[in-house]
Amino acid sequence: MHKPGWSLRHYLLVLLLGVTLIPLGVATIISVWQYSGDIDRIERASMKQEMGVARLAERYLLYALENTRRALRSIDKTRLTHPGQLRGRIAEEVHGNPQIEAIHVTDADGKITLSSREGEGLPIDDVESFRQARHSGQPYYTNYFYSNLVDTPVVALLLPYVDRDGRFAGVLRASLSLEFLLNEFTNQYSFEERYYIFFVDRRGTLLAAQNFRPGRNLKTLPPVERLLMGEDGTLKYISNFFGDRVDGIERLGAYRHLGEAKWGVIVTQPSAHVLANPIRNLHNSLLIILFTAIGCFLVSFLVANRLAKPLDALAAEMGERTTKQNFAHAVEVPITSGVREFQVLTSAYNTLMKQIRQNFEKINALNSEVSSQNALLQEQNEEISKQAERIQSQLQELDMLYQKVNEANVSLETQVAERTSEVQAAYRRLTDKAAELEEANAKLTELVGELRKLDQLQADFLANVSHELRTPITFITAYGSSLEDGLLGPLTDGQQEAMRSIMEGASRLTVLVEDLLDLNRLESGALEIMPSPIDPAMLIGPVVESAKALAHAQKQEISIEINKGVPAIFADYERAQQVLRNLVSNAIKFTGERGSIKVRCYQAGDGVAVEVIDDGIGIPKDAQPRLFDRFYQVDASSTRKYGGTGIGLNIVKSLLDLMGGRIEVDSEVGKGSTFRFVLPASRDLPTSAGASHTYSPPGEARRNRARARQAEAAPEPAVVAAAARHPDILDDEATPQNSALDSGEELVG
């Protein structure tokens, strides 16, 4: 809200008035000051003039008095010389001096002896003056007295005279009319329009005045006061004519004593007369100033108004808007002021207000939206409250449940506490055990480490050993075969026999080395199985073919029986052959002369079964479970007879396991044995050589190299000879037994 204060109009007014009135004020002050100065000057000048007039009056009167004295002396002289002409002389003097009204001659007692008028024989009417004159012997000017002789107030000059003896003999009195003198005086100088001149006696009694009867005492009149105090001068005083201050006007007066008579003359005029001009000037100035001031007032008022009014309108409008906040009703304030700043202000305000109004309208729109939203929220709130109530009741139920649970809890807690202590005890025991276990573990880890080392050593050992074993076997075989084949000349029968034995030895050694290596690989998991679809005939045929020689040497029959429609076997070709070879070899070994061995093949579920059936010595029941164990031999003595290390069947089982197959044995001592192994059937058909291994025929590599050189390019086509399938090419798995069989065949011849 606004603080109470003046409006701009007031300020402007004050300002303008100040601006204008101050100089006016100053002018006024100067005028007045000048005026008072003027007044002073004028008054003083006037009073000086009056004094001049008074002096003039004095001289005039003194001249008259001088004449009067001269007249009286002349009369006195006449008295002395021509006493008879005295009356005539008196009449002349009275006639010749208009100021003398009457002359009286007295004797020494004061009796009038001679008079120009009446009174002869009467005592003088002013005894006091007579005495004074008699006493002083000098001319004596009386004060005003009432003469009963002439029936008018008079003032007189007494001239005492003496007889021949020089003794006082009476007075010569001339009663004077000062009025006449005064009239004469004022007429002569035309003072009556300006000055008021009057004479007073030594007591202050009026002797003569214009238009006024003498006789009144004027000692209260300030100039008369001063005269009575013996002063001459001028003064400013207030009084009416009678000496009262009431109803008095200000007068300027000059007062003088008149010669010997010590009467007074007063010249006075109202100060107003004198000051008329200055006063009028002052009045004029003040009037001008006043009118100017009024003019300034008006102009200030108008200007202030003119300046302030547009601002008023703006202020009123702004006030209206901001106090009541009704921006929607903002009106445009018209620009009525000529002042540029106000114009700018007004138009800016208009612009702002317009903006505010627009914003206001926007806000209003938003507000109504918000209200409707609020209404929605309100509904939702109520919903929520209801929900809350529902929840509340549920909570109460929960509370009750909670209490029950608490009670249960309490009892549980006690139980738990008991259990906890038990558990803690158990835990302590456990931690002790754990510590023990950790120790054991540490030891185990040590052992494992050592075992690993041993393993590694074993592997290295085996690798080394196998190589070392192979080397002598190699040259034994090379030289042996050379000898056997007659490269160093023909052999005798005995030599041939010896060679066969040597070769048999080499062969067995080779088998052993291969078995050991296989064992090693199986154990270390290094043995690779590369299965592919195998035609059963291709698997069984070559093995049986190779075995035929040895079998016939023992007069045994060996035959194959493959069922029609038997699917391909999914297995590693070499290893499967190795398995079969081992079993067939065993069958031949453990079957006597004229025995028979049959190899059968049929589908078994989703696998293919291969059976090697012999009618040999059979295997005891208690030996059968351990048959496939490493180094297990049914009969230690049979080793000497039949040979073998007990490794074969172990390898067979391991290989079958790796290929996803299994092996079983049916056997009865004396009745023969049936070894059956089952391998998975292949979904695919077998490839032409019974193996899907890519085989490189001899010379292919050479041709490929030529092609490559021509093409400048690539490495030789990937000739992945996974297995040399050519029967002449010896491989590490199958051929030891082949060799054995071969050599067996040779031995048999």
Partner 1 sequence: MRVLIVEDEPITLGAIKLIVESAGHQAILAEKSEDGLALAKSELPEVALVDIKMRESAFDGLELIRRLRADPATEDTVIIAHTASVSPPSIAAAMQAGADDVLRKPFRQAELIDIIKRNLAK
**Residue 715 or 749 with smaller CB distance to partner 1:** 715
**Minimum gap (Å) between residue 730 Cβ and partner 1:** 3
**Minimum gap (Å) between residue 527 Cβ and partner 1:** 10
**Separation CA 306–CA 337 (nearest Å):** 8
**Minimum gap (Å) between residue 592 Cβ and partner 1:** 30
* Three-class SS state of 65: helix
**Residue 149 or 527 with smaller CB distance to partner 1:** 527
- How many Cβ atoms are within 10 Å of 432's Cβ, its own excluded? 10
- What's the CA dihedral at 147, 151, 156, 158 to 10 degrees? -60
Beta bridge partners of 451: none
**Residue 36 or 474 with smaller CB distance to partner 1:** 474
Closest CA to 617 of 586, 639, 640, 643: 586
Is the separation of the CB atoms in 117 and 150 below 8 Å? yes
**Minimum gap (Å) between residue 512 Cβ and partner 1:** 13
**Separation CA 593–CA 20 (nearest Å):** 165
In the block, residue with structure tokens 């108008």: 302
Q: Is the dihedral of CA 302, 308, 309, 312 positive or negative?
A: negative
- Read off the DSSP letter of residue 563: -
* Three-class SS state of 518: helix
**Residue 506 or 649 with smaller CB distance to partner 1:** 506
**Minimum gap (Å) between residue 460 Cβ and partner 1:** 15
**Minimum gap (Å) between residue 474 Cβ and partner 1:** 4
First to last CA, the chain: 141
* Three-class SS state of 133: helix
**Residue 286 or 724 with smaller CB distance to partner 1:** 724
**Minimum gap (Å) between residue 591 Cβ and partner 1:** 28
**Minimum gap (Å) between residue 702 Cβ and partner 1:** 6
In the block, residue with structure tokens 């005279």: 161
Amino acid at position 100, single letter: I
Is the separation of the CB atoms in 264 and 230 below 8 Å? no
**Residue 232 or 742 with smaller CB distance to partner 1:** 742
* Three-class SS state of 350: helix
* Three-class SS state of 22: helix
| Alpha-carbon distances, residue 510 vs 476, 633, 739 (angstroms) | 11, 20, 9
The two tokens of residue 526 are: 């290094």
Beta bridge partners of 115: 104
- How many Cβ atoms are within 10 Å of 618's Cβ, its own excluded? 21
**Minimum gap (Å) between residue 577 Cβ and partner 1:** 14
**Residue 658 or 721 with smaller CB distance to partner 1:** 721
Is the separation of the CB atoms in 528 and 574 below 8 Å? no
- Secondary structure (H, E, C), 82-98: CHHHHHHHHHHHHHHCC
**Residue 5 or 715 with smaller CB distance to partner 1:** 715
**Minimum gap (Å) between residue 726 Cβ and partner 1:** 9
**Interface residues toward partner 1, by CB under 8 A:** 466-467, 470-479, 481-482, 485, 487-488, 506, 510, 528, 530, 693, 696, 698-699, 701-703, 705, 709, 715-716, 719-724, 728-732, 735, 739
**Residue 446 or 485 with smaller CB distance to partner 1:** 485
**Residue 222 or 533 with smaller CB distance to partner 1:** 533
**Residue 560 or 721 with smaller CB distance to partner 1:** 721
* Three-class SS state of 174: strand
**Minimum gap (Å) between residue 446 Cβ and partner 1:** 35
**Residue 315 or 469 with smaller CB distance to partner 1:** 469
**Residue 1 or 718 with smaller CB distance to partner 1:** 718
Amino acid at position 622, single letter: D
DSSP secondary structure, 388-419, as one string? HHHHHHHHHHHHHHHHHHHHHHHHHHHHHHHH
* Three-class SS state of 558: strand
**Minimum gap (Å) between residue 471 Cβ and partner 1:** 5
Closest CA to 104 of 81, 80, 71: 71
**Minimum gap (Å) between residue 656 Cβ and partner 1:** 19
